[in-house]
Structure 1
Amino acid sequence: MIEIKPSNVKFNKKEFNDFQKELGISFPNEYIKFLEKNNGGTPELNIVELQNEEIKSFSVTDFFGVNNVKIYDLKSQYETYKERIPSGNIPICRVDGGNIICLNIDNGVISLWDHDTELINEEVSSTNSLLKVARNFEEFLSIMKPLYRHHKDDLDDYKVEDLWIDPDFLKKLENNKD
């Protein structure tokens, strides 16, 4: 499983419960446990690979928590995106490139919200901007793979057979050794 550096801000249960009441929802238990432990946080460099033609993979940069700095705060991010993401979805983390991972409150499904779809065609329905990533939060965490360990395995069978170095560059390297 991916390592996640917890937020420096302690999880505030009362604030979280107030947020749930305000929205009239209940978050899934596995997501609540994650917040209680990490209150958002920053994952190690990672990759989530998808079986999709347009978006093959992405990397999660940060998870949102409770009472964090605005850019990392669950409630603030919900307020920012609530008119843009399909209803019933809550933004829970950010990925490289500015897209958002959403948790569907009705069924627990985790989806990638592609912000570019609304820029390409304003008539595209907002549900078309979601790409299913995982059945639930627990599965989502399990498919996040450490970036370097993942790619190292891909290269295990490769061997360098030939290498060329520009002679002028090699001279510069040799002169800089001293």
Structure 2
Amino acid sequence: MQTIKFEIGSIGRPFSDDYVMEVESEIGIKFPLAYIDFMKHANGGKPIKQFFSIGSNEKVIERFLSFVEDYKNDELGLYDIEVVWSQIEDRLEEGVCPFAALFAGDFLCFDFQKGGVPSIVLWNHDAAARGNPCYQHVANSFDEFLTSLKAAEISA
């Protein structure tokens, strides 16, 4: 896995373990440790030219969601995981939680429904409806997902 570079100034403030536990309690999940470790240096960051393949399509990560303790008074507050989850939870199944925004309104989510290590799915906002979510499998784990990320080639 290559190092993910982020746009300058896009990474949010540090967050407390207590806040993560509050979010986990509200959503009813337990984030993987690999994800928490990643977020300690990438909280809300906008990656530079990072994409992944799903079938024959390439999807661009717009930004990783964030843990923002004072989300009402922080510019990254609208990207707080719990805030985003609360806006789309009626179109998700129980045990599914967004963690990254993709271009055009879709989200990458953890899928905890099978128990154990959560898989990574793409939630399609256009196809999802209340009580009828639409997911595509992306990776078997967060680590596998990070390994699959590619940096776009910038031509001169």
Task: Give the AA of the match of 2:118.
Answer: G
1:57: how far off? 1.6
Structure 2's unaligned 5+ residue stretches are: none
Query: d(CA) in 2 for partners of 1:11 and 1:104?
Result: 23
What is the TM-score of this pair, normalised by structure 2? 0.80
Alignment equivalent of 1:130, drawn from 124, 130, 135: 135
1:123: how far off? 8.9
Q: Verify the 8 A CA contact 2:66 2:80 in the aligned structure 1.
A: yes
Q: Secondary structure, in 3 states, of the residue corresponding to 1:71?
A: helix
- Aligned residue pair count: 142
Listed one character per residue, the Cα deviations across residues 113-149 of structure 1 (whole Å, up to 9, x for unaligned) are 111113xxx59832xx100000111111111100116
- Choose between structure 1 and 2: higher helix proportion: 1
Structure 1 vs Structure 2 CA RMSD: 2.1
Alignment equivalent of 2:92, drawn from 77, 85, 97: 85
Give the percent of matched residue pairs that are identical in Structure 1 and Structure 2: 23
User: Is 1:61 equivalent to 2:62 in the alignment?
Assistant: yes
Q: Secondary structure, in 3 states, of the residue corresponding to 1:125?
A: coil
What is the TM-score of this pair, normalised by structure 1? 0.71
Q: Verify the 8 A CA contact 1:64 1:72 in the aligned structure 2.
A: yes
TM superposition outliers: structure 1 runs of 4+ over 3 Å: 122-125
Q: Verify the 8 A CA contact 1:70 1:77 in the aligned structure 2.
A: no
Structure 1's unaligned 5+ residue stretches are: 153-178
Query: d(CA) in 1 for partners of 2:41 and 2:100?
Result: 16
Alignment equivalent of 1:99, drawn from 106, 112, 120: 106
